[in-house]
């Protein structure tokens, strides 16, 4: 589910076809290794039950006594009987699962707002309750069948992360651009009755799911009691390519009105439940030009991956890490960031300057791929970073947002980090919170010029 500009990397297959659970790696010396299971082995059944995917293996394979039907890569069919010491892992890793595709065309879909020509897997619209449980991806539940509900409840896949957006059925059909979308209140009630809890999010589109629709949505979620662990309210974000979008813009006035509603429900939740229950995303505070709450506001930062409390968490990590930093007197350090984060940076850079003696220069950078309405630092692309650092031979070091690069070292525009880094004569480091890079000793490569 890709309602917002979250950059991540989830391993899964895009292709369809029959479900196959296949081993990708066997740990040396493990039970599986001793039994002769090798990479490429297909696991068919466990204790007589067919395996459809990694979830079946994870849950059915958790018993200590197993009868496993498998097919080796050469086609030989084998039955393994396993009795293992309690808690000892079996020792296999599985090939990534086939992702379940999304049946919606949401107004605000980030995938629909991507420019053409990017790498293929960025266009995958997943809506998969299994990834919701395993990785915290949000899912709309639109494509859930009866057997999926049964699995969720049998395997206790809790908590799930659910994109609710609106509970009134007609409004939700419009938002998700899907006339066949099920009634989410009935779905959530079924899960609740099965003992499943969930974190919810609502991406708010002015004119479509604010006002009375939002009130009704809060009321419906509230009535689900403690099945709803938290609700995140996220302002819609569109790129210059978001061709499906028909709502009004999320301007500071709309953001302020929305934040007032959130704070009213938050006050009710604090009074009646003892926790805040509903959280506005950082972006909403920034748009409404209001101060972000402190650390105590966010509890366990349950929805930090959804941009709820990320700035506060960064402030906390910087404050806690300052003492670990060395003196870096006279160093000139460039800090590349997006336009929306830029106003929040000076307070952090002042603290870093006071502690280290280095001179920090903020380099706010616009997004050349998604257009000027996309201001998130994590969505800057390689070309933007390259442009921001060109002709900056005066710097000793540059820090760029670590979220801009995936695990393969690629920016969203397929530029390789190593190429961008080698395009300048000073070290360039991806950083999550300044402390991660600056706490290295001055003698380390970061400051010796060998990036
Ligand atoms: S269309 Fe699908 S992938 Fe896009 S935001 Fe909606 S649910 Fe997510």
Is 2's C-beta closer than 6 angstroms to any atom of ligand 1? yes
Cα–ligand 1 centroid distance for 103 (angstroms): 8
Cα–ligand 1 centroid distance for 158 (angstroms): 22
Is 187's C-beta closer than 6 angstroms to any atom of ligand 1? no
Question: CA 85, CA 212: separation in Å to the nearest integer?
Answer: 57
Question: CA 290, CA 257: separation in Å to the nearest integer?
Answer: 12
Is 1's C-beta closer than 6 angstroms to any atom of ligand 1? yes
**Quick one: which of 107, 100, 96, 144 has its CA closest to 125?**
100
Question: CA 302, CA 224: separation in Å to the nearest integer?
Answer: 19
**Per-chain mean pLDDT for the chain:** 91
For residue 83, the SS3 value is strand
Antiparallel, parallel or unpaired: β 77-83 and 65-71: antiparallel
Is 122's C-beta closer than 6 angstroms to any atom of ligand 1? no
Cα–ligand 1 centroid distance for 102 (angstroms): 6
Per-residue confidence (pLDDT) for residue 110, from 0 to 100: 87
Per-residue confidence (pLDDT) for residue 448, from 0 to 100: 47
**Quick check: 200 and 230 in contact, CB under 8 A?**
yes
Q: Return phi, psi of residue 328, to 5°.
A: -135, 40
Question: CA 341, CA 34: separation in Å to the nearest integer?
Answer: 53
Is 3's C-beta closer than 6 angstroms to any atom of ligand 1? yes
Mutate to test the pocket of ligand 1, among 4, 100, 101, 102 (most ligand atoms within 8 A of CB): 102
The tens digit of pLDDT for each residue in 138-158 reads 999 999 999 999 999 999 999
Torsion of CA 291, 296, 302, 304, to 10 degrees: 40
Per-residue confidence (pLDDT) for residue 14, from 0 to 100: 42
- Positions of the chain with pLDDT lower than 70, given as ranges: 1-19, 441-451
Is 284's C-beta closer than 6 angstroms to any atom of ligand 1? no
User: What is the residue with the minimal CA distance to atom 7 of ligand 1?
Assistant: 1
For residue 79, the SS3 value is strand
Q: What's the first-to-final CA gap in the chain, in angstroms?
A: 36
CA-atom Rg of the chain in angstroms = 24
Report CA-CA distances (Å) from 438 to 314, 341, 359, 433, 441: 15, 20, 13, 9, 8
Work out which ligand 1 atom sits closest to the CA atom of 203. Answer: 5
Residue labelled with tokens 């292709």: 15
Question: CA 155, CA 143: separation in Å to the nearest integer?
Answer: 18
Work out which ligand 1 atom sits closest to the CA atom of 105. Answer: 1
For residue 111, the SS3 value is coil
Is 392's C-beta closer than 6 angstroms to any atom of ligand 1? no
Report CA-CA distances (Å) from 384 to 153, 281, 387: 46, 25, 5
Instruction: Count CB-CB contacts under 10 A for residue 261.
Output: 18
Cα–ligand 1 centroid distance for 390 (angstroms): 37
Per-residue confidence (pLDDT) for residue 442, from 0 to 100: 57
Is 61's C-beta closer than 6 angstroms to any atom of ligand 1? no
Residue 349's Cβ-side half-sphere holds a number of Cα atoms within 13 Å equal to: 19
Per-residue confidence (pLDDT) for residue 444, from 0 to 100: 53
Work out which ligand 1 atom sits closest to the CA atom of 140. Answer: 7
Cα–ligand 1 centroid distance for 287 (angstroms): 23
Mutate to test the pocket of ligand 1, among 109, 139, 203 (most ligand atoms within 8 A of CB): 109
């Amino acid at each position: 589910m890709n309602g917002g500009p979250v950059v991540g990397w989830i391993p899964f297959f895009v292709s369809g076809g029959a479900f196959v659970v296949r081993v990708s790696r066997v740990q040396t010396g493990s039970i599986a290794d001793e039994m002769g299971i090798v990479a490429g082995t297909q696991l068919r059944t466990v204790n007589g039950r067919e395996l459809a995917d990694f979830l079946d293996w994870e849950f059915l394979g958790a018993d200590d006594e197993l009868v496993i039907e498998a097919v080796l890569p050469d086609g030989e069919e084998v039955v393994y009987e396993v009795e293992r010491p309690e808690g000892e892992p079996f020792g296999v890793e599985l090939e990534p699962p086939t992702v379940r595709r999304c049946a919606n065309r949401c107004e605000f879909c980030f995938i629909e707002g991507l420019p053409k020509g990017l790498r293929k897997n960025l266009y995958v619209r997943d809506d998969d309750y299994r990834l919701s449980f395993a990785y915290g991806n949000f899912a709309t539940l639109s494509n859930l069948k009866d057997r999926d509900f049964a699995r969720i409840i049998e395997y206790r896949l809790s908590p799930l992360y659910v994109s609710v957006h609106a509970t009134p059925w007609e409004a939700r059909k419009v938002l998700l651009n899907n006339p066949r979308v099920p009634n989410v209140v009935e779905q959530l009630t079924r899960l609740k009755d099965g003992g499943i809890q969930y974190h919810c999010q609502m991406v708010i589109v002015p004119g479509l799911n604010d006002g009375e629709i939002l009130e009704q949505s809060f009321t419906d979620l509230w009535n689900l009691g403690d099945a709803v662990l938290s609700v995140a309210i996220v302002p819609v974000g569109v790129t210059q390519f978001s061709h499906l979008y028909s709502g009004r813009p999320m301007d500071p006035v709309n953001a302020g009105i929305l934040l007032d509603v959130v704070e009213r429900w938050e006050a009710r939740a604090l009074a009646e439940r003892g926790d805040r229950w509903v959280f506005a995303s950082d972006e909403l505070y920034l748009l409404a030009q209001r101060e972000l709450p402190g650390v105590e506001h966010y509890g366990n930062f349950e929805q930090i991956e959804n941009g709820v409390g990320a700035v506060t968490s960064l402030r906390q990590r910087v404050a806690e890490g300052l003492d670990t930093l060395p003196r870096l007197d006279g160093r000139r350090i460039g800090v590349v960031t997006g336009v929306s984060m830029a106003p929040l940076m000076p307070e952090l850079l002042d603290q870093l300057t006071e502690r280290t003696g280095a001179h920090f220069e903020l380099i706010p950078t616009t997004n050349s791929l998604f257009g000027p309405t996309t201001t998130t630092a994590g969505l800057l692309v390689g070309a933007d970073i390259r442009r921001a650092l060109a002709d900056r031979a005066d710097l000793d070091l540059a820090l760029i947002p670590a979220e801009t690069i995936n695990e393969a070292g690629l920016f969203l525009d397929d530029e390789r980090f190593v190429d961008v880094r080698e395009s300048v004569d000073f070290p360039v480091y991806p950083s999550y919170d300044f402390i991660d890079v600056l706490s290295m000793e001055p003698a380390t490569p970061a400051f010796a010029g060998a990036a």
